[in-house]
A and B are shown apart, each in its own frame.
Chain A
Amino acid sequence: MKLDTNTINKIAKLARIKLSEQESKDLLKDMNSILDWVEQLNEVDTDKIEPLANISSSSLPKRKDQAEDINSSDEILQNSPDKLEGYFAVPKVVE
């Protein structure tokens, strides 16, 4: 499998990462060599094997349905560059 610059640019866009032309070229080279390396796994026959979601053998920890009254407004808005009456204010998202 070989990636091209378009695919690199698409991945960058989906990840909201801005790339210069040079960075895009470098990444293309890096990613292709990573993919080549991973490609070796194709030599293993996995036809009758279900995909594994996690390698841990323990089971999913669960919690009880108990709500905590945290009144988080002030704390949660602390890092916000812009806010109004308890809301985060972000550049307009047009629908």
Chain B
Amino acid sequence: MNNNLIKGNKFEWETIIGLEIHAQVKSKSKLFSNSSTAFGSKPNSQVSLVDAAMPGMLPVINQYCIEQAVRTGIGLNAQINNYSVFDRKNYFYADLPQGYQISQYKYPIVGKGKVTIDFKDGNSKDIRIVRLHLEQDAGKSLHDQNPTKTYVDLNRSGVALMEIVSEPDIRSAEEAGLYINKIRSILMYLDTCDGNMQEGSLRADVNISVRKPGDEYGTRCEIKNLNSIKFIKQAIHYEAKRQIEILEEGGIIEQNTLLFNTSNGKTRPMRSKEEAHDYRYFPDPDLLPLEISQTEIDKLKSSITELPDDRKKRYVDDYNLSNYDASVLTSDKHVSDYFDEVINSDKSLKESSKIVVNWITSELFSILNEHNIEIKISPITPKYLGKLVKLILENVISGKIAKDVLIDMYNTKKDPETIIDQKGLKQLTNTSEIENIVEEVLKENQKMVEQYLSGKDKLLGFFVGESMKKSKGKANPKILNEILKNKLSKKN
């Protein structure tokens, strides 16, 4: 059952992983100041006196950020705490003007929760959430521009983050990928974080240790600040292997904070953390405890429409999709919105949802990927894709021709019916026309016909191909096959 074990040279090992995800709240202004959170602005142009930690400045909390943390907590099926406290986490770093980060330590805004991840084989697994708390982001340091200087941009300083901490319930790189994807999709459905990993709106610290199955947890290392699912998986693979090698050679794992080098795929200890951190948390005297009433929580609960798991269930129940297909489809809200629009564009499509899924995930995706276009701005509208699928279902065109039509639809933004009319692509369903074509093909290939009749059954495919070619791909394959078989059997 446990296929997550890693084979070392001597033993089999289990990887134990917990994730701390930092998700930037999608707010206009920062957590404790009204400077803008816009990404990519001129360096240090969005730094208020509060963000720069000028003496005497006082933080005032952003109501919207509190609400988004609560909504996210609800999306994580978590306990929302009516009482939480902001603490100071003290450390010195060039991109942290205050000398401390305002965070939540003992009393976070959100407590225990859980999310479900779905595997290809149809199985599911719950990953428990320890907590979610609100905290300030730090500024950004550029280390590689100058040999003796570090450049600091404080625009990000003070932006609201939600730190989502999981229990060490994750057992493989694959599970870690599914988990972070699930969190990302929940955040995007709730619209509490834009989920943009490239811009750093979503990043993760990975805690990882290994043990022989059944043993106690081993010593863990923490890999900091990974900003893509690919890197998270690579880092886990590398780090698990590294720890196993040390242990099998009789060594011990030192608890360490690591950085992952994306260019060589290796982890290494962070030098600046040589001295074990002692953050000396204490309640921030500038901020009163945060109290949220049950009425406020209930109101926020009612603002949540459909979460990925609800939608997944709807797809399984209403459209007969498999659990895995439904989870893949719902993991990206934009894809899932597109699917909903296609299905809703015509009643008859509900019966053929699986075909719609295939047209979206294989044909549409391949065109969009080729042009690097996101589905939410797809030139092929859901309504037109729905029309195209309907034309296939009604045998007006074959699936093969539909693929060409789809490319035309992308390029011209035209209605599929218009394209089919203009190019004369309608499928040939007229029996006598197809019969004529088949007759011709058989006449032109008499030798093959003899071979077929003497037992080379495989030649049927050849006749189908030739006839199809002659019809310019328009012959209805089912009718064509029937006529061919019929004619050949009569020759026997």
Residues of A bordering B, CB below 8 Å: 10, 13-14, 16, 51, 53-54, 56, 58-73, 76-77, 82, 84-95
On whether the beta carbons of A66 and B66 are closer than 8 Å, the reply is: no
Residues of chain B having any CB pair with chain A under 8 Å: 27-29, 34-38, 42-48, 52, 60-66, 85, 90, 92-94, 106-107, 141-143, 146-154, 259, 270-272, 275, 278, 280, 283, 285, 287-291
Name B280's contact: one of A14, A60, A95 (CB within 8 Å).
A14
Q: Are A67 and B35 in contact (CB under 8 A)?
A: yes
Specify the chain A residue showing the minimal Cβ separation from B280. A14
Give 9 A-B pairs besides A73-B44, A92-B149 with Cβ atoms closer than 8 angstroms.
A13-B275, A66-B29, A67-B29, A69-B36, A70-B46, A82-B149, A88-B94, A88-B152, A95-B270
Instruction: Report the 3 A-B pairs with minimum CB-CB distance, sorted nearest first.
Output: A65-B64, A87-B151, A67-B36
The answer to whether residues A93 and B93 also contact, given A62-B62, A87-B151 and a CB cut-off of 8 A, is yes
A63-B150 contact given A72-B35, A73-B42, CB 8 Å threshold = no
Q: Is the interface of B mostly helix, strand, loop or mixed?
A: loop
Chain B residue numbers with a CB within 8 Å of A95 are 143, 259, 270-272
**Known contacts A63-B34, A68-B29, A95-B271: A14-B90 contact under CB 8 Å:** yes
In angstroms, how far is the closest chain B Cβ from the Cβ of A27? 17
A-B contact count (CB 8 A): 146
Q: Is the CB of B36 within 8 A of A68?
A: yes
Query: Are A67 and B37 CB-contacts (below 8 A) given A14-B90, A59-B291, A61-B60?
Result: yes
Which residue of A58, A64, A93 contacts B63 across the interface (Cβ within 8 Å)?
A: A64
CB pair B42 A86 closer than 8 Å: yes
Contacts of B147 in A (CB 8 A): 92
- A88–B152 Cα gap in the complex (Å)? 5
Chain A: minimal CB distance from B440 (Å): 72
Q: Nearest residue in A to B283 (C-beta to C-beta)?
A: A53
Q: What's the least CB distance linking B444 to chain A, in Å?
A: 73
Q: What are 28 A-B contacts with C-beta separation under 8 Å?
A: A53-B288, A54-B287, A59-B291, A61-B60, A62-B61, A63-B62, A64-B64, A65-B29, A66-B29, A67-B28, A67-B35, A70-B47, A71-B42, A72-B35, A76-B47, A84-B151, A86-B43, A86-B45, A86-B153, A87-B44, A88-B152, A91-B149, A92-B147, A92-B149, A93-B143, A93-B150, A94-B271, A95-B271
A57 to chain B, nearest CB (A): 9
B44 and A77 within 8 A (CB): yes
How far apart are B262's CB and chain A's nearest CB, in angstroms? 13
Residue of A nearest to B142 (CB): A87
Complex partner residue of B44 from A53, A72, A91, CB under 8 angstroms: A72
